[in-house]
Amino acid sequence: MAKIKTLQQIGTSKGIVIDKPILEILNLDHEEAAVELEITPQGLLLKPCRIESAYKRISKRHRKSLDKLGE
């Protein structure tokens, strides 16, 4: 499903508006939804960010810092 969107000015940045049906399909239609952005050879990949998987990656990469914060 390809869809063309136009970048819009948002303050000093640019962004796109994602239509509600797409947000619902991706289960991103709630207020605290998080997405992960990844630059790939094909372009920008936007995917739902699940808290559990994000925490695992962060905790693996920053274990020592997180341990110090917990003290």
pLDDT, tens digit, 9 for 90 and up, residues 49-71: 876 666 677 777 777 887 888 77
Q: Per the structure, how many domains does the chain have?
A: 1
Q: Is residue 44 one of the residues assigned to a domain?
A: yes
Range of the domain at 50: 8-70
Give the predicted TM-score (pTM) of the model: 0.58
H-state helical runs in the chain: 20-25, 51-61, 63-70
Span 15-34, pLDDT tens digits: 999 999 989 988 888 887 88
Residue 1: what residue type? M
- Would you say residue 1 lies in a domain? no
Residue 22 lies in a domain: yes
Q: Are 18 and 3 in contact (CB under 8 A)?
A: no
Residue 18 falls inside a structural domain: yes
| Any domain includes 27 | yes
